[in-house]
């Protein structure tokens, strides 16, 4: 048996023998590694120009948008499959669907029936409104103090052939409101063929006498000029006396001496400064004190005065601090009952007054600022709460003598 220690023969590379006549290379041992001889560095030709270095590309800065982190949308939630209904739940759902369908059907039927009824009613109303059975045969016009029944019928202007069902009540109201005395209109249908029309008049607030004393006007609620007033002045009377009687008869106040710039027109609003100032006083005074005022004198806004039912004349001036002026007037009247003839509160900080000293004084009429009359022992006294008095003069008369006291102007 051959020994394993014997070496196997190594394979040798076959070497190519050089051909005859060619130089032979010296052989080198097989164990010597082959080394490559260094090649001499090739120098560039002097004729070739040196290449310029290539420019480096500029660094590209990231845009702001590239810096924003991209937010990924949330993944859609997986829908859960409906839980299978039990038999009881399924029956309840079917019952609800049936009830909903029934309700919708009922609502639809009701809507259809209502539409049919409305259409039928409209047709019937149209036929009846033009039927001669309801044609207006008579108009019951209710007259008032200043609007006659004939005026009501003429202003209503109802065309022939109009029925109670197609009569235009709004048009009737608008036509009647053209009369400045008319404040409101009532129209009533009395079937089958009668129409009743009644009006409510404006209340008269004041009788306004112009400065010329030749004409006066009724001033109604809402500061509306109503109509001129005929002043039949007899011998021994003044226009103011007659106007006061007119105002008293209708429960109104008297306003005199208004300037000629006031030009009333029936149905128009009274926007003149003096009228507005008087209204401011009436609205600013308490109802108790305002009821004591008989008349106003209003030649200008700064010269307004009033006369009380007791005959005391009060100089008010411009409509400012109205409630404070009232308190001063009440205080003086309470302090000197039946003794005062004149009070001046134009300047609230320095009011003044005039009084009489008598044991037998009677109240005046208040018509034109008349003062109380006294016996033969009476005397007059002018007193200013601040040492000043008004420019208006007052006269105290009796059977024996006449005493006139005039105060200096402020």
CA dihedral 252, 256, 259, 264 (to 10 degrees): 30
CB 366 within 8 A of CB 308: yes
- Strands 253-258 and 204-210, by their bridges, are parallel
Does residue 372 surpass a pLDDT of 50? no
Strand order in the sheet with 204-210: 224-229, 216-220, 204-210, 253-258, 293-297, 305-308, 313-315, 340-344, 352-357, 379-384
CA distances from 213 to 256, 263, 366 (A): 8, 14, 19
Q: Do 241 and 209 contact (CB within 8 A), yes or no?
A: no
The arrangement of strands across the sheet holding 138-142 comes to 138-142, 194-201, 182-190
Using an 8 Å Cβ cutoff, are 308 and 293 in contact? yes
In this prediction, residue 178 carries a pLDDT of 93
Provide mean pLDDT across the span 81-101: 77
Q: List helix spans (H) across 363-402.
A: none
293-297 and 253-258 beta bridge pairing: parallel
- 169 φ/ψ angles, rounded to the nearest 5 degrees: -70, -30
Q: Which of the given ranges, 98-102, 116-120, 322-326, 368-372, has the highest pLDDT on average?
A: 322-326
Q: What is the pLDDT of residue 72?
A: 64
Task: Give the pLDDT of residue 322.
Answer: 97
Which has the minimum average pLDDT: 125-139, 247-261, 388-402? 388-402
Inter-CA distances, 385 with 29, 106, 353, Å: 155, 87, 8
- The two structure tokens encoding residue 351: 């009011």
| pLDDT over 90 (residue 44) | no
String of DSSP letters for 196-233: EEEEEEPPEEEEEEETTSS-EEEEETTTEEEEEE----
Each residue of 275-298: pLDDT tens digit? 999 999 999 999 999 999 999 999
Per-residue confidence (pLDDT) for residue 332, from 0 to 100 = 96
Tell whether the model's pLDDT for residue 4 goes beyond 70. no
Instruction: Residue count of the chain, please give it.
Output: 410
The neighbouring-strand residues paired with 402 are: 397
Question: Would the pLDDT of 130 be above 90?
Answer: no
Least confident of 81-95, 213-227, 258-272: 81-95
Lowest mean pLDDT among 14-28, 93-107, 353-367, 383-397: 383-397
Per-residue pLDDT, averaged over 318-346, amounts to 95
Distance, CA of 44 to CA of 87 (rounded, Å): 98
Of 62-76, 285-299, 346-360, the least confident:
62-76
**CA dist list (Å): 373 to 329, 359, 362:** 21, 11, 6
Average pLDDT for residues 337-347, to the nearest whole number?
A: 94
Higher model confidence: residue 357 or residue 364?
A: 357
**Is the dihedral angle over the CA atoms 162, 166, 169, 170 positive or is it negative?**
negative
The confidence band for 407, taking pLDDT boundaries of 50, 70 and 90, is very low
Q: Which residue has the tokens 């106007």?
A: 243
Q: How confident is the model at residue 152 (pLDDT cuts 50, 70, 90)?
A: very high
Which pTM value belongs to this model? 0.61
Q: Which pLDDT band holds residue 176 (cuts at 50, 70, 90)?
A: very high
What band does 27 get if pLDDT is binned at 50, 70 and 90? low
Whether the upstream peptide bond of residue 192 has omega within 30° of 0, thus cis, is yes
CA distance 82 to 97: 19
Q: What is the DSSP letter of 163?
A: B
Q: Determine the Cα–Cα distance for residues 296 and 264; give it in Å rounded to an integer.
A: 18
Burial track 145-157 (b if 16+ CB lie within 10 A, e otherwise): ebbeeebbeebbe
Most confident of 19-23, 82-86, 100-104, 219-223: 219-223
Q: What is the pLDDT of residue 144?
A: 92
CA distances to 94, 97, 112, 187 from 108, rounded to whole Å, are 21, 17, 6, 40
CA 317 to chain CA centroid, nearest Å:
33
Q: Is 343 left (phi over 0), alpha (psi -120 to 50) or beta?
A: beta
What is the rounded distance in angstroms from the CA atom of residue 294 to the CA atom of residue 252?
A: 8
Rounded distance, CA 405 to CA 25, Å?
A: 171
Q: Is the pLDDT of residue 188 over 70?
A: yes
Whether 111 contacts 143, CB under 8 Å: no
Average pLDDT, the chain: 77
3-class SS of residue 353 = strand
pLDDT in tens, 208-237: 998 877 789 999 999 999 999 988 888 888
């Amino acid at each position: 048996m051959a020994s394993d220690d014997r070496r196997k023969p190594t394979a040798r590379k076959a070497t190519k023998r050089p051909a005859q006549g060619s130089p032979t290379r010296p052989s080198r041992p097989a164990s010597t590694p082959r080394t490559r001889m260094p090649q001499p560095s090739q120098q560039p030709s002097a004729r070739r120009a040196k290449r310029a270095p290539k420019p480096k590309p500029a660094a590209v800065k990231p845009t702001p948008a590239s810096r924003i982190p991209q937010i990924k949308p949330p993944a859609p939630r997986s829908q859960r499959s409906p839980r299978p209904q039990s038999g009881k739940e399924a029956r309840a759902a079917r019952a609800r669907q049936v009830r909903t369908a029934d309700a919708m059907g009922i609502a639809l039927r009701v809507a259809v029936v209502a539409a049919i009824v409305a259409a039928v009613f409209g047709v019937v109303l149209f036929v009846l409104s033009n039927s001669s059975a309801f044609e207006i045969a008579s108009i019951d016009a209710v007259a008032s103090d200043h609007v006659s029944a004939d005026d009501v019928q003429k202003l209503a202007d109802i065309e022939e052939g109009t029925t109670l069902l197609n009569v235009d009540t709004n048009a009737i109201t608008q036509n009647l409101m053209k009369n400045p005395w008319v404040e409101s209109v009532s129209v009533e249908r009395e079937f089958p063929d009668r129409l009743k029309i009644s009006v409510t008049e404006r209340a008269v607030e004041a009788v306004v006498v112009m400065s010329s004393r030749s004409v006066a006007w009724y001033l109604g609620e809402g500061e509306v000029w109503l109509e001129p007033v005929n002043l039949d002045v007899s011998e021994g009377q003044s226009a103011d006396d007659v106007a006061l009687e007119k105002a008293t008869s209708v429960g109104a106040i008297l306003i005199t001496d208004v300037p000629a710039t006031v030009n009333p027109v029936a149905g128009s609003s009274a926007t003149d400064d003096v009228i507005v100032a008087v209204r401011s006083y009436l609205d600013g005074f308490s109802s108790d004190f305002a009821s004591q005022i008989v008349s106003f004198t209003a030649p200008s806004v700064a010269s307004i005065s009033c006369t009380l039912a007791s005959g005391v004349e009060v100089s008010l001036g411009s409509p400012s601090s109205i409630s404070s002026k009232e308190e001063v007037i009440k205080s003086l009247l309470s302090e000197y009952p039946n003794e005062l003839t004149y009070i001046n509160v134009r300047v609230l900080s320095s009011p003044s007054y005039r009084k009489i000293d008598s044991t037998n004084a009677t109240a005046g009429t208040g018509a034109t600022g008349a003062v109380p009359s006294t016996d033969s022992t009476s005397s007059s006294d002018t007193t200013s709460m601040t040492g000043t008095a008004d420019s208006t003069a007052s006269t105290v008369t009796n059977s024996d003598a006449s005493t006139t006291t005039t105060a200096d102007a402020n």
